[in-house]
Amino acid sequence: LIKITVLNNQVADPDDIAQEIATQTGAEVVQVIGNKIGLYREAKKKQINLPL
């Protein structure tokens, strides 16, 4: 999970910024609310160790 805050003085639209970052990082846009962006990228190496 990646959380990003876009500065208020930024000229570009946060939706456009979110799409560009998602494209370059291989992530998916979860949500854009105001100047906050939420992205998700699945881990390359899945590792879950549960005690038995």
pLDDT tens by residue, 1-52: 999 999 999 899 999 999 999 999 999 999 999 999 999 999 888 888 888 7
CB 40 within 8 A of CB 32: no
Return d(Cα 33, Cα 16) in angstroms, integer: 13
Return d(Cα 12, Cα 25) in angstroms, integer: 19
pLDDT at 44: 84
pLDDT at 46: 82
CB 1 within 8 A of CB 38: yes
Return d(Cα 52, Cα 45) in angstroms, integer: 22
CB 1 within 8 A of CB 40: yes
pLDDT at 47: 83
Whole-model pTM above 0.95? no
